[in-house]
Structure 1
Amino acid sequence: MTVSLEPTTIAPAPDKVPAAHRQLSDIEASYFLPARANGVNDMYLHLGFNAPAELVRRSRVRLVWAILRLRHPLLASRIDMRDYEDIRFVYAPPPTLAAALEDADQAMDYRAGDKDALIDEYLNGPRTLHNDRISYLILSDTAGTALPTPPASPGPHDSAANSRPRPNHDLLICATHFLGDGMALHTFANDFFGLIGGSANEGELSELLNETWCTAIKRAMDGKGTLPASTEDRFPPSSGSRLRRVAEKVDFQRNQEKQIGGHAFPRAKGKARHTIVPTVPFPADRTKAMLKKCKEHGVSISAALFAICNIAWARTARGQWELPMMMYSALNMRPYLLAEKALHDSYWFLAVGYFNVVLPSFLPSDVAAGFWHRARAAKVQSTRAAKSPMLVPRAREMARERGIRARQWAREDDGVAPPPAAAPAAPVPAVNSTPKAPSTALIGLSLLGNLDGIYKHANFPAVKMHTLTTGSRQRAGGMLLFGYTFAGKLWVSLGYDENGFERETVQAYWSRVLAGIEEFLG
C-alpha cells in the first residue's frame, strides 16, 4: 500500500503559518536551567512488550509519533533562551505532511541492544536531548538487531497478523522534565500503544495524520492557544490582595520550618557519576496479597513503602536518633487546576508539587506494630499535604522560590553577575527568631500508584506489556526510589549514583528495603 502525503483537506498556505511561543514558567525554568550542561532530570520511560513485528516497523511508528507530536506540540518544540528571565518554548508547525513525517523521523531511533544497555546509555552516556530536541523515541528488539521496514501489511487485528509470533521489543520514551512529568509520560505511552496496536492500518493512520495536521495548521492560523499553558497559569487565581499575599508567604515559611530531617547517606567522592537502577518485581499473586494486607491495616502500598524505607534506615543508621528521618515525594497537581484549562488542550505540561514525610529515626521496640503505626502516620501526612486548603498557594510560592534559586545558580555556573536587587513588593514579617532546624532528606520516593489504571490494555490486544522502568538522568549523588504496580505486579526500583555514596551503606539499605517488603507485606 502506498501512503499518500497529500492532504485531503485544503489547508492555508504553509509559508504563512506562524510559529507559536510562550515563556517557561518558574517551575519549568527551575528544571530547564540545571539540565543545560548534562541533562539533569531528563526523564525516560521504558516499556518492554511483545508484539508482532509489523506493529513496530518504522513506517508505522513514524506515523503514530507524527500524529502525537501534532496533538501535543510541546513535544516538537525547541527552547530559545534569550536571558535568564526570558526562556521560551518555540513551536513551528510542520508546513507539509511530509515535513511532519520528517520531523518525527528525526526524533526517533532504532537500535540494537537490551533494555539494560539502552537505559544505561541514556542515563550515563552523552545526553540524548538538547534545546532543539526535547523529546525522543528509541526502539529495540531483544535479538539485538534494528527492526526493518517491510512492505505494508494488513491491519493489526487481521487474523493473520494476530497469529504471527510476538517477539520482544523495548521502547524508551525520552523527554525533558520541564516538558512534562510522570503522568504525562504514562498517559502518552497509553495513547501511543493505542495507535500502534489499534485496528487502523497504515493507510488509515495516514488519513488520521492528515486530519490532525490540518487541525493543527488551522489552530495556528487562528492563534488559538497552540501551546498548552503552564501549571501556574492553570491554577485558580489568587485573591490578589497584598494582605493575602503576605499571609500566603508566612504560611509557606511556617510550613517549610516544620520540615525537619537530620539523616543522609554517607557520601563518596573522586569518581564520575554513574547511575544504576536495580529493579525488583513481585509476582502478581503476592502483590494481590500485599494490597489486601495493606487495606486491612488502613493504608496504601505507597504509605507502607514510606514506613519500609524508614525501618530499613533505622536498621542501617549509626546514630543521631534524636533527629527524625525525612523523605520527600512529588504530588500530582492536575486535580487542582481550573476545569476549563485542565486537560482539554494537551496533557504534556509539568504539574508537580512537593511534600515531605517525617518519621522517627529509631527502631521501635515492637517492630511490626511500629511499622504499621508509621505507615498510618505517612498516610496522614500525605493526605494532609494533598488536602490542605493552602496547597495551591504553597505550590505557587514553591515554584516562585525554585525559579529564583535556579536563575541564581545558573548565573553562578555561567560566571554572570546577578542583576541589582529589587526591593520586595510585599515584605514578609519574620515568623520567629529561633535557630533553623536541619531539613536534610534521606531519600526521595516517587510513588506512581496503580499504573494499570492508566494503560488500557484491552485497546491494544496484540501488544503484551510485561516490563516498566522509569527514572531520569541524575546529578552526582542523586537517589530516588520508585514504587508502582504494573501488569498486576508490584515493582520497586532504586535509581542512584553508585559512585556518589558509600557503597556498603547503600547496598545494606537496599537489601533491608527488600527484606522489609517481605517481612511486613509478605
Structure 2
Amino acid sequence: MSTSHAPLPSPSPSDSGDEQSPLLSQLELNISDKRADISAPYERKLGDSELSYYLPGRATGVNDMYLHLGLTAPERLMHHDRVLSVWTILRLRHPLLASHVVMDDYENVRFVYIPTVSSCDAKIRSAEQLRWECKGKDGEICVELIDDYLNGPRTLSNSRLSFLVISRTPNVDPYPSPPGTPQSDASGHFLGPWEGERVRSYEWLMCAAHFIGDGIALHNFANDFFTLLGAPLSDHELHDLVVYEWETRWRTPPSDGVLLPPSFEESIPSPKSRMQDVVGHIDFQALLQKQIGGHSFPRCANPVRHTIVPTLSFDEGTTKAMLNKCKAENVSIAAAVFAICNIVWARMSLRDRQTLPTMVYAAMNIRPSLMPRPKNDSYWFLAVGYFNVVLPSFIPSGCDTRRTFWHRARSAKTQIIRAATTPMLLSRCREMSIKRGRLSRAFAHEDDEKENGAWVGPRTQPKALAPDAGAASQSPSTALLGLSMLGNLDAVYKHATFADIKLQTLTTGSRQRHGGMLLFGYTFAGKLWVSLGYDENGFEPKPVRLFWDNMISAMHEFLLESS
C-alpha cells in the first residue's frame, strides 16, 4: 500500500526572528558531506501491538497521535535556536522519534535508526522535522492546527515518525519594546523573568505515530520539553547539552546493539511452561465470551472522513466540587464518566434495544507491570492493555436515577480495578497482542489486494481468524464508543519547573478511522476537560450531538447538584 504524504511548507519568516536560524545555516556548512560516513543502522522488528497500529495507517495515517498545548511564554524562551536545541536533545534521548520504518512483507516490518555523525548533524535532522508558523488570530490557531492535522494530508510517514509544530499570531505591535536586562548570577544562569520582556501566546503541536508510543510517552515528552525549554540555562548552555547528549550516547554506540526500546511483547515475561501457555489462552477466550455489548450510534455511509473534536473544560471551582463529590461516593472521576455515558445512552436508547448491555472499551497503562529495561532509558514505546466496561442498557423504572448512577459508577470502578489487578493481566495482554497482530495482517493483505484491483471478496474467514471450537454461539460484542480517561495530568506536568511558561490548554487524540469515536477525559491546569473526537461524516449527526449535550448536562446533574 502506498503511503501518501504531502510536503510541509518551509518555516515562515516572522517579525521576531523566527526565520531560518543563522546558527542552523552555519551547521549545514560545517556538516557538508559527512552524511556519507554514517555508521551502520540499528534495527528491530515491530511487535504485534505495534503492527496493529502501523498496518492500518500506512495510507491515510489512521492512529497518528497528536498533543496540542496552548501556552504563554517570554520570547527569549521561544525563539528558533532554543527550541531546536531542546527538540534535538529529546530526539537523541529517544531514538524511535528519529527512526523510520521499512516493510518487506506483513511478517517483516522493521524500525531502522541511523545514528547522526555529529551533534551538528543531529540538529540539522531535527530541524527537518520542525515547523514554525505565524498566522491567524488568537483562539483560531488551535482549531486550525488540529483540523489540518486530523483531516488534511498526512503529516507523518514511514520516514517521519514524529514532527513538531509551533505556531503563534503575527506581531501586531509596529513598535515593540526592546527586552529588558536579564538578571543572572556569576555563572550566567537566569535568576528570574526579564523586566519588560514580551510574553506571547503560542500553540505547540507534537505529532507522533501511535506505533512508537502512547499517551504516557506523549505527556512525559511534553513535560521534559518544557522543563528543558524553561530551564535556567542560556542558549549556549543548551547547545552544549546537545553536544553532551550526542557525545555520551552516539560517539561510541552500544557494542551489543541494544539501542532501540524493545517491543511490548519482548517486555512481557514468557510463559514458564506449555501448561501456563494453554491456561492463558483458555482464560482469554473465556474473557472474550463475557464481553457483551449490543449498542452503537447510527452510522452513515459517507466515504469522506472528517474528524471534529468538541471540547469543554470546567473551571477550577467546578472541577474541585466534582472531584470531591466522586471522592465522597468512593469512586474516581473515570468510573463516574463511564457511568455517565451509560446513563445518557440508556435515556436515549429505544426499549427494543435494551435487552443487551452497553459496552465501552478503554485502554490501560501497563508499564508498571513490564520487565525492567536496564539497557534503555527511553519512555517512547507502546505499552497499552485493553479492557471493556459493561453496564446495563436500561434505567429501572421507579428507581432513583441518582442511586442507579452511583451504583453503576461503583460497578465501573470494580471492573476497572479487576482488569488492572488480575494475575492474568500480562497473559491477557499477550493474547490480545497476538489477536490484534493476526487481524491487522489479514486486513492489510485485503486492503492491498483492493488497492491493486486483485480482491475477489467476499470470501470465507481466514483460518487463523476463525472462532475457537465451542465459540460458535459467541455473544455480540459491539462497543458504543471508546473512552480514554487520562487522569490528573497535573501530576505529570511539573509546572513549577518551568514557571515562566504557562501551559493553559491541552487537547489530544489521533487521526480517526472512518466511523471512529473516542471520548477523552482528564484534569489539566486545575480544570476537568472532556473532548469527543469522532468522524462527523460517519454517524447520523443528531444522536451524537444529543449524546454530547446530554453528557455535559448529566455531569452537572450527578456530579454537582445536591442529592
Determine if the TM-score, normalized by the shorter chain, exceeds 0.5.
Answer: yes
Contact residue 450 and residue 486 of structure 1 kept, 8 A: yes
Matches of 1:273 and 1:398, distance apart in 2: 28
Task: Look up the equivalent residue of 2:271 and give its one-letter code.
Answer: S
Matches of 2:205 and 2:477, distance apart in 1: 35
SS across alignment from 1:131: coil
Matches of 2:23 and 2:191, distance apart in 1: 19
Contact residue 477 and residue 499 of structure 1 kept, 8 A: yes
**1:5: Cα distance to partner?**
6.4
**1:212: Cα distance to partner?**
0.4
Hey, what does 2:537 align to over in structure 1? 499
**1:428: Cα distance to partner?**
11
SS across alignment from 2:205: strand
Contact residue 250 and residue 428 of structure 1 kept, 8 A: no
Task: Look up the equivalent residue of 2:227 and give its one-letter code.
Answer: G
Show the 5 A alignment for 1:233-248: 233-239=266-272, 241-248=273-280
Deviation track 1:49-95 (CA, whole Å, cap 9, x = no partner) reads 00011211111111110110000000000001111111010001111
Contact residue 411 and residue 417 of structure 1 kept, 8 A: no
Matches of 1:88 and 1:352, distance apart in 2: 20
Matches of 2:204 and 2:165, distance apart in 1: 6
SS across alignment from 1:220: coil
Show the 5 A alignment for 1:15-30: 15=37, 17-30=39-52
**1:317: Cα distance to partner?**
1.4
Task: Look up the equivalent residue of 1:506 and give its one-letter code.
Answer: V
**1:339: Cα distance to partner?**
2.6
More divergent stretch after superposition (155-164 vs 369-378): 155-164
SS across alignment from 2:77: helix
Hey, what does 1:401 align to over in structure 2? 435
Instruction: State the superposition RMSD in angstroms.
Output: 2.8
Contact residue 246 and residue 428 of structure 1 kept, 8 A: no
Hey, what does 1:322 align to over in structure 2? 355
Hey, what does 1:462 align to over in structure 2? 500
Hey, what does 1:387 align to over in structure 2? 421
Q: Tell me, yes or no, if structure 1 residue 64 matches structure 2 residue 96.
A: no
**1:340: Cα distance to partner?**
4.1
Matches of 1:140 and 1:470, distance apart in 2: 17
Contact residue 55 and residue 197 of structure 1 kept, 8 A: yes
Matches of 1:59 and 1:223, distance apart in 2: 35
Contact residue 18 and residue 220 of structure 1 kept, 8 A: no
SS across alignment from 1:94: coil
Matches of 1:423 and 1:315, distance apart in 2: 41
Hey, what does 1:512 align to over in structure 2? 550
Hey, what does 2:64 align to over in structure 1? 42
Task: Look up the equivalent residue of 2:503 and give its one-letter code.
Answer: M
Matches of 2:383 and 2:195, distance apart in 1: 39
Hey, what does 2:404 align to over in structure 1? 370
Hey, what does 2:142 align to over in structure 1? 115
Hey, what does 1:440 align to over in structure 2? 478
Matches of 1:80 and 1:219, distance apart in 2: 25
SS across alignment from 1:370: helix
Q: Tell me, yes or no, if structure 1 residue 253 matches structure 2 residue 280.
A: no
Task: Look up the equivalent residue of 1:305 and give its one-letter code.
Answer: V
What's the TM-score once normalised by structure 2's chain length?
A: 0.85
Hey, what does 2:121 align to over in structure 1? 99
Contact residue 18 and residue 221 of structure 1 kept, 8 A: no
Task: Look up the equivalent residue of 1:233 and give its one-letter code.
Answer: E
Matches of 1:71 and 1:514, distance apart in 2: 41
Show the 5 A alignment for 1:51-90: 51-90=73-112
Q: Tell me, yes or no, if structure 1 residue 215 matches structure 2 residue 257.
A: no
**1:200: Cα distance to partner?**
1.1
Change (3 A) 1:219 1:332: farther
Matches of 1:335 and 1:434, distance apart in 2: 36
Change (3 A) 1:370 1:377: same
Matches of 2:471 and 2:520, distance apart in 1: 38
Hey, what does 1:9 align to over in structure 2? none
Matches of 2:283 and 2:326, distance apart in 1: 34
Deviation track 1:255-274 (CA, whole Å, cap 9, x = no partner) reads 01100000000001235111
Hey, what does 1:296 align to over in structure 2? 328
Deviation track 1:397-419 (CA, whole Å, cap 9, x = no partner) reads 1101111110111111111799x
Show the 5 A alignment for 1:252-291: 252-270=284-302, 272-291=304-323
Q: 1:357 aligns with which of 389, 393, 396?
A: 389
Deviation track 1:377-425 (CA, whole Å, cap 9, x = no partner) reads 000000000001001011001101111110111111111799xx9999x
Matches of 2:316 and 2:462, distance apart in 1: 58
Hey, what does 1:196 align to over in structure 2? 229
Unmatched 5+ residue regions in structure 1? 7-11
Matches of 2:361 and 2:40, distance apart in 1: 42
Deviation track 1:366-387 (CA, whole Å, cap 9, x = no partner) reads 1100000000000000000000
Contact residue 93 and residue 216 of structure 1 kept, 8 A: no
Show the 5 A alignment for 1:395-434: 395-415=429-449, 430=469, 432=470
Deviation track 1:105-138 (CA, whole Å, cap 9, x = no partner) reads 0001012341000000000000000000010000
Unmatched 5+ residue regions in structure 2? 1-21, 29-33, 173-177, 183-187
Contact residue 130 and residue 165 of structure 2 kept, 8 A: yes
**1:159: Cα distance to partner?**
4.2
What's the TM-score once normalised by structure 1's chain length?
A: 0.92
Hey, what does 2:4 align to over in structure 1? none
Task: Look up the equivalent residue of 1:190 and give its one-letter code.
Answer: N
Hey, what does 1:479 align to over in structure 2? 517
SS across alignment from 2:59: helix
Deviation track 1:21-40 (CA, whole Å, cap 9, x = no partner) reads 10000000110000001000
Task: Look up the equivalent residue of 2:285 and give its one-letter code.
Answer: Q
Q: How many residues align?
A: 507
Matches of 2:127 and 2:195, distance apart in 1: 27
**1:303: Cα distance to partner?**
0.3
Task: Look up the equivalent residue of 1:250 and give its one-letter code.
Answer: I
Change (3 A) 1:22 1:486: same
Matches of 1:74 and 1:214, distance apart in 2: 19
Matches of 2:499 and 2:259, distance apart in 1: 33
**1:433: Cα distance to partner?**
5.3
Hey, what does 2:154 align to over in structure 1? 127
Contact residue 448 and residue 483 of structure 1 kept, 8 A: yes
**1:44: Cα distance to partner?**
0.1
Task: Look up the equivalent residue of 1:466 and give its one-letter code.
Answer: Q
Q: Tell me, yes or no, if structure 1 residue 180 matches structure 2 residue 218.
A: no
Matches of 1:510 and 1:22, distance apart in 2: 43
More divergent stretch after superposition (91-100 vs 387-396): 91-100
Contact residue 33 and residue 407 of structure 1 kept, 8 A: yes
Change (3 A) 1:500 1:197: same
Contact residue 17 and residue 217 of structure 1 kept, 8 A: no
Change (3 A) 1:456 1:213: same
**1:460: Cα distance to partner?**
0.4
Matches of 2:275 and 2:437, distance apart in 1: 23
